[in-house]
């Protein structure tokens, strides 16, 4: 096989623009390649990265289908002999950080689906993993649970370790436990040696520091030391620093001194792409219709979507056949029903009242513009979320005429 033969087979499998701009830059290193290892060279790491992210699977499939080999594939920068990056490698050998935490090998930038809801967080995380300590320091990623914060944080770690950096990944809780343990053992020097001698400190869920004064104090010093040495610090939390209660002001202002970026629940198209990626990674096969059903009905977190996929997969394995949409709905019914149970008419009224700064009793009894507006919103939500009929809604809102609803 030579480069030309290989590219001819690859061409039909990828987008034309990808072929012209990227694939044509590939050059097979025949001297170093054999049946078990195939090495391609490219001019720079951006091209290498793009190819790895966008069509490594297609390259694998060409080698397998047309050349009947299933090798480890390396996309190397032509002048750089030390850096070998391969998808298979990453999967087989989970990376260990300097504090001995094993990073999830699936939490990589390649496996992270980017949409509007997380684009900024993804880009800054990616940037930080390549140029640590420079522009966005600290980087603070926040957002609700199950939306990809830990994934991005560990992706930074995986990438930085690939680039030979010393990385510490720690949850705030572990940081505190190790701190207390070191204090008890009178071994603070060891603790400081670990946490203050790294290129990147990745610290997950810092909202946990809330109210823990001496841990905050120690972290404050760790942070300052690393920051003054131009070392990168990345943090995540479920809230923006200004909303984390029980945090010392000096720490809060440190957290806010770099770049703060949010992850949110993705919109439909991105959810569909995430579901497809997860199915590929976990070799789960489900119908397009089921993919759409999950994407439309799961709106709180990606973790729940993964839970749904695992459930469906387990069911189809036990039943030894793939599920149709109705069977899938049945499997997921409990899950969805539970979520709907949490929403009640009383909760809707209370929430709307709070948002519009009006009393629930006022909504029911008065006809002020604000009360009328509140009723409209409540009616809409009750229909959308609870599928209540006009009679039930009119009744709850103390309205005599259900046709108004
Ligand atoms: P958080 O730390 O925000 O609570 P995680 O990072 O643990 O959430 O994400 C929960 C799960 O959802 C993980 O398995 C992660 O891989 C997945 N996930 C979240 N966002 C994405 C995304 N944009 N693309 C792919 N997987 C995602
Ligand atoms: Mg997390």
Ligand 1 atom 23: the closest Cα is on which residue?
113
pLDDT for res 132: 60
Please state, in angstroms and rounded to a whole number, the distance separating the CA atoms of residues 226 and 216. 15
Q: Is 275 in the pocket of ligand 1 (CB under 6 A)?
A: no
pLDDT, average across residues 354-365: 90
Q: Could you report the per-residue pLDDT of 372-401, keeping only the tens digit for each?
A: 999 999 999 998 888 778 888 888 898 888
Band of residue 109 on the pLDDT scale cut at 50, 70, 90: very high
Q: Could you report the per-residue pLDDT of 312-323, keeping only the tens digit for each?
A: 998 898 888 889
For the entire predicted model, the pTM comes to 0.66
Taking each continuous run of H as one helix and of E as one strand, the counts in the chain are 18, 8
Which two structure tokens, joined as six digits, stand for 46? 């951006």
Task: Give which of 341, 106, 139 is closest to 227, Cα–Cα.
Answer: 139
How do strand 232-237 and strand 200-204 relate by DSSP bridges? parallel
Band of residue 241 on the pLDDT scale cut at 50, 70, 90: very high
Q: Are 325 and 287 in contact (CB under 8 A)?
A: yes
Instruction: Check whether 217 has a pLDDT greater than 50.
Output: yes
| Ligand in closest contact with the CA of 143 | 1
Band of residue 179 on the pLDDT scale cut at 50, 70, 90: very high
* Protein residues placing their CB within 5 Å of the ion ligand 2: 149-150
Q: Are 274 and 302 in contact (CB under 8 A)?
A: yes
pLDDT for res 259: 95
Instruction: Check whether 336 has a pLDDT greater than 90.
Output: no
Minimum mean pLDDT range among 251-265, 284-298, 350-364: 350-364
Please state, in angstroms and rounded to a whole number, the distance separating the CA atoms of residues 253 and 251. 5
Q: 238 alpha carbon to ligand 2 midpoint, in Å?
A: 8
Please state, in angstroms and rounded to a whole number, the distance separating the CA atoms of residues 193 and 214. 18
Strand partners, 236: 141
| Ligand in closest contact with the CA of 109 | 1
How do strand 139-142 and strand 232-237 relate by DSSP bridges? parallel
Higher pLDDT, 272 or 369: 272
Q: Is 248 in the pocket of ligand 1 (CB under 6 A)?
A: no
Cis ω for the linkage preceding 108 (within 30 of 0): no
Q: Are 101 and 129 in contact (CB under 8 A)?
A: no
Task: Give which of 335, 348, 325 is closest to 396, Cα–Cα.
Answer: 348
pLDDT for res 338: 62
Please state, in angstroms and rounded to a whole number, the distance separating the CA atoms of residues 22 and 53. 12
Higher pLDDT, 197 or 139: 139
pLDDT for res 47: 78
Q: Could you report the per-residue pLDDT of 127-153, keeping only the tens digit for each?
A: 999 886 578 999 999 999 999 999 999
| Ligand in closest contact with the CA of 142 | 1
Higher pLDDT, 15 or 260: 260
DSSP state of 386: I
What average pLDDT does the structure give for the chain? 89
Ligand 1 atom 21: the closest Cα is on which residue?
148
pLDDT for res 53: 84
Band of residue 231 on the pLDDT scale cut at 50, 70, 90: very high
Mutate which of 143, 303, 310 for ligand 1 pocket (most atoms within 8 A of beta carbon): 303
Q: Is 146 in the pocket of ligand 1 (CB under 6 A)?
A: yes
Q: Is 271 in the pocket of ligand 1 (CB under 6 A)?
A: no
Which two structure tokens, joined as six digits, stand for 335? 């899950």
pLDDT for res 80: 42
* Closest ligand 1 atom number to CA of residue 122: 23
* Closest ligand 1 atom number to CA of residue 270: 23
How do strand 167-171 and strand 200-204 relate by DSSP bridges? parallel
Q: Could you report the per-residue pLDDT of 266-313, keeping only the tens digit for each?
A: 999 999 999 999 999 888 999 999 999 999 999 999 999 999 998 999
Q: 205 alpha carbon to ligand 2 midpoint, in Å?
A: 7
Which two structure tokens, joined as six digits, stand for 90? 């990453």
Instruction: Check whether 234 has a pLDDT greater than 90.
Output: yes
pLDDT, average across residues 251-259: 95
Q: Is 225 in the pocket of ligand 1 (CB under 6 A)?
A: no
Q: Could you report the per-residue pLDDT of 57-98, keeping only the tens digit for each?
A: 999 999 999 999 999 999 987 764 333 333 444 444 688 898
pLDDT, average across residues 220-233: 95
How buried is residue 193: exposed, middle or buried, by Cβ count under 10 Å (0-12/13-18/19+)? Answer: exposed
Ligand 1 atom 5: the closest Cα is on which residue?
148
């Amino acid at each position: 096989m030579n480069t030309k033969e290989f590219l001819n087979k690859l061409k039909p499998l990828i987008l034309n623009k990808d072929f012209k701009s990227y694939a044509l830059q590939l050059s097979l290193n025949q001297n170093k390649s054999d049946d078990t290892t195939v090495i391609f060279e490219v001019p720079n790491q951006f091209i290498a990265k793009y190819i790895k992210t966008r069509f490594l699977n297609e390259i694998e499939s060409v080698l397998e289908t047309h050349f009947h080999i299933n090798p480890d594939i390396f996309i190397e920068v032509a002048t750089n002999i030390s850096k070998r990056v391969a998808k298979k490698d990453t999967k087989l050998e989970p990376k260990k950080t300097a504090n001995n935490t094993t990073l999830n090998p699936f939490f990589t930038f390649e496996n992270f689906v980017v949409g509007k809801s997380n684009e900024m967080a993804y880009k800054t995380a990616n940037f930080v993993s390549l140029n640590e300590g420079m522009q966005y320091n600290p980087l603070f990623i926040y957002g609700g649970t199950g939306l990809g914060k830990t994934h991005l944080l560990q992706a930074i770690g995986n990438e930085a370790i690939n680039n030979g950096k010393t990385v510490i990944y720690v949850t705030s809780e572990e940081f505190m436990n190790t701190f207390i343990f070191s204090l008890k053992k009178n071994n603070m020097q060891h603790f400081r040696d670990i946490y203050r001698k790294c290129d990147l400190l990745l610290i997950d869920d810092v909202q946990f520091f809330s109210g823990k004064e001496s841990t905050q104090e120690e972290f404050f010093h760790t942070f300052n030391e690393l920051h003054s040495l131009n070392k990168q610090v990345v943090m995540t939390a479920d809230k923006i620093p200004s909303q984390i209660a029980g945090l010392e002001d000096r720490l809060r202002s440190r957290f806010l001194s770099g770049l703060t970026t949010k992850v949110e629940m993705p919109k439909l198209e991105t959810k569909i792409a995430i579901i497809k990626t997860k199915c590929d990674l976990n070799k789960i096969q489900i119908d397009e219709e089921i993919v759409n059903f999950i994407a439309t009905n799961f709106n709180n977190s990606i973790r729940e979507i993964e839970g749904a996929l695992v459930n469906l997969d387990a069911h189809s394995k036990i039943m030894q056949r793939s599920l149709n949409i109705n069977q899938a709905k049945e499997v997921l019914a409990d899950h969805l029903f539970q979520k709907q149970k949490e929403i009640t008419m009383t909760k809707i009224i209370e929430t709307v009242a709070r948002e519009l700064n009006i009393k629930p009793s006022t909504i029911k009894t008065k006809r002020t513009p604000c009360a009328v507006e509140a009723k409209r919103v409540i009616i809409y939500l009750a229909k959308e979320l609870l599928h209540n009929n006009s009679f039930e809604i009119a009744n709850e809102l103390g309205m005599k005429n259900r046709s108004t609803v």
